[in-house]
Structure 1
Amino acid sequence: MDTFDEYIEGIDVDEHRDRVIEILTWVEKNFPNLDTRVAWNQPMFTDHGTFIIGFSVAKNHISIAPEGKVMEQFEEKLKLAEYSFGKKMFRIKFDQDVDFDLLKEIIEFNIEDKKECTTFWAK
């Protein structure tokens, strides 16, 4: 988590900070081969130099960005989880549970989908 310490310290609300720590720690534990970095003021995880997933905090939610193709693939599951979403990200409100099974599926899909990708963003 050292990579993310400065970002985490900037989260003013204790409960929000705890939730972000919980999610980032979970990703690190379940996907130890992913690299960590902060870019565009967001903690993110990469694989062989390509973007896999990023996180950012807003007033009422955490935004999770796995890229557009993933969002299309998981649209129905995101609706079932009652997460709001856009073309390239979804939101988990601070009063909602984190569906870690869904998050795992999303990360696994993106890793597999981008295993031959040679650019940071999918083309």
Structure 2
Amino acid sequence: MKKSKNVNEYIENSSEESRSIMEELRQIIKSTVPEAEERIAWNVPNYKLNGVLAGFAAYSKHVSVGFSEGGLSDEERKLFGDKGYKTGKGTVQIKFDQEVPSTIIKQVLKSHAKMNESRKK
């Protein structure tokens, strides 16, 4: 995929299957932490609030959403895993046929925003 100048362009340039997931993730992030700065970083949509907060990227079979530099806690990973989502150190894969786990994502965003705030002090 070619480099995008902004998040709208990134979503438009992505596969049709991934767009609705990314639009929903974008809406969740912007409504949960409206003060976060939206940008393109590392060639993908990224949100910054007292450091990196979250980001997402489209792949051939899923959209990956990642959380702050510290990654996911074991408890957060379990929340996603129990609902059938594949997780990594700081990422969650949302397959095209899965619903976006909005409640868990909102919870994690709020927690990571607080962590970033406390690290800043």
The runs of at least 4 consecutive aligned structure 1 residues that moved more than 6 Å come to none
Higher RCO, Cα 8 Å, sep 6+? 2
Distance 1:107 1:30 in 2: 7
> If the length of structure 1 is used for normalisation, what is the TM-score?
0.83
CA RMSD in angstroms, aligned pairs only? 1.8
Aligned-partner SS, 1:55: strand
Unaligned runs of 5+ in 1: 119-123
Partner of 1:109: 111
Structure 2 counterpart of 1:121: none
Amino acid paired to 1:10: N
1:1-123 correspondence to structure 2 within 5 Å: 3-13=6-16, 15-48=17-50, 50-67=51-68, 68-118=70-120
Unaligned residue ranges in structure 2 (runs of 5+) = none
How far apart are the structure 1 equivalents of 2:31 and 2:77? 26
User: Are the aligned partners of 2:72 and 2:91 in contact in 1 as well (CA < 8 Å)?
Assistant: no
Partner Cα distance (2:21, 2:77) in 1: 23
- Counterpart of 2:97 in structure 1: which amino acid? D
8 Å Cα contact 1:71/1:89 also seen in 2: no
Contact between 2:53 and 2:109, CA under 8 Å: does it hold in 1?
yes
Instruction: Give the alignment's TM-score, normalised by structure 2.
Output: 0.84
Count residues in correspondence: 115
Letter in 1 for 2:118: E
Identity of counterpart residues, as a percentage? Answer: 24
